[in-house]
Amino acid sequence: MPRLYDLELSGNCYKVRLLCALLKVPLEIVPVDFLAGEHKKSPLIGINPFGEIPIFADGDLVLRDSQAILVYVARKWGSEAWLPSDAAALARVVQWLMVAENEIARGPNDARLHDKFGIELDIGAAREKSVRILGILEQHLATTNWLAMDRPTIADIACMPYVALAREGGLKLDPYPAVEAWIARIKALPGFIGMPGISPDGRTT
Amino acid sequence: MPRLYDLELSGNCYKVRLLCALLKVPLEIVPVDFLAGEHKKSPLIGINPFGEIPIFADGDLVLRDSQAILVYVARKWGSEAWLPSDAAALARVVQWLMVAENEIARGPNDARLHDKFGIELDIGAAREKSVRILGILEQHLATTNWLAMDRPTIADIACMPYVALAREGGLKLDPYPAVEAWIARIKALPGFIGMPGISPDGRTT
| Model pLDDT for residues B32-90, shown as the tens digit of each residue | 998 899 999 999 999 999 999 999 999 999 999 999 999 999 999 998 999 999 999 99
The pLDDT > 70 percentage for chain A reads 98
Size of chain B in residues: 205
User: Which chain B residues are Cβ-neighbours of A75 within 8 angstroms?
Assistant: 85-87, 90-91
What pLDDT was estimated at residue A202? Answer: 60
**End-to-end CA, chain A:** 31
CATH number belonging to the domain at A87-187, selected among 3.40.30.10, 1.20.1050.10, 3.40.1360.10, 3.90.1260.10 = 1.20.1050.10
- Per-residue confidence at B203, pLDDT binned at 50, 70, 90? low
Q: Name every residue whose Cβ is closer than 8 Å to that of residue A31 and which is 6 or more positions away in sequence.
A: A6, A7, A8
Q: What is the mean pLDDT of residues B144-172?
A: 98
What's the CA gap between B70 and B20, in Å, rounded?
9
What pLDDT was estimated at residue A10? Answer: 97
Separation in Å, CA of B67 to nearest CA in chain A: 8
Question: Which CATH superfamily groups domain A3-77?
Answer: Glutaredoxin (3.40.30.10)
The answer to whether B77 and B25 have CB atoms below 8 angstroms apart is yes
Task: Verify whether the Cβ–Cβ distance A91 to B75 is below 8 Å.
Answer: yes
CA dihedral over A84, A89, A94, A100, signed as positive or negative: negative
**Is the pLDDT reported for residue B182 higher than 90?**
yes
What pLDDT was estimated at residue B202? Answer: 60
**Is the pLDDT reported for residue B164 higher than 90?**
yes
**Is the pLDDT reported for residue B180 higher than 70?**
yes
Query: Which of A12, A62, A53, A58 has its CA nearest to residue A33?
Result: A53
Regarding an ipTM greater than 0.90, the answer is yes
**Residue A10 backbone class (left: φ over 0; alpha: ψ -120 to 50; beta: rest):** beta
What pLDDT was estimated at residue A35? Answer: 85
Burial tier of A36 (Cβ tally within 10 Å: 0-12, 13-18, 19+): exposed
Same fold, A3-77 and A87-187: no
CA dihedral A198, A192, A30, A71 (to 10 degrees): -110
What pLDDT was estimated at residue B168? Answer: 97
B125, closest residue in chain A (CA to CA)? A121
Separation in Å, CA of B71 to nearest CA in chain A: 6
Tell me the pLDDT of chain B averaged across its residues: 96
pLDDT tens digits for A142-179?
999 999 999 999 999 999 999 999 999 999 999 999 99
Separation in Å, CA of B55 to nearest CA in chain A: 12
Q: Where along chain B do its domains lie? A: 3-77, 87-187
Taking the Cβ of residue A143 and every Cβ of chain B, the question of whether any pair is shorter than 8 Å is answered with no
Report the side by side order of strands in the sheet with A61-64: A28-31, A3-6, A55-58, A61-64
Query: Which of A100, A76, A79 has its CA nearest to residue A157?
Result: A100
- Per-residue confidence at B124, pLDDT binned at 50, 70, 90? very high
Taking the Cβ of residue B144 and every Cβ of chain A, the question of whether any pair is shorter than 8 Å is answered with no
**Is the pLDDT reported for residue B98 higher than 60?**
yes
What pLDDT was estimated at residue A109? Answer: 98
pLDDT tens digits for A41-97?
999 999 999 999 999 999 999 999 999 999 999 999 998 999 999 999 999 999 999
State the DSSP string of chain B.
--EEEE-TT-HHHHHHHHHHHHTT---EEEE--TTTTGGGSTTHHHH-TT--S-EEEETTEEEESHHHHHHHHHHHHS-TTTS--SHHHHHHHHHHHHHIIIIIIIIIIHHHHHHHH---S-HHHHHHHHHHHHHHHHHHHTS-SSSSSSS--HHHHHHHHHHHTGGGGT---TT-HHHHHHHHHHHTSTT---BTTB-TTS---
**Is the pLDDT reported for residue A139 higher than 90?**
yes
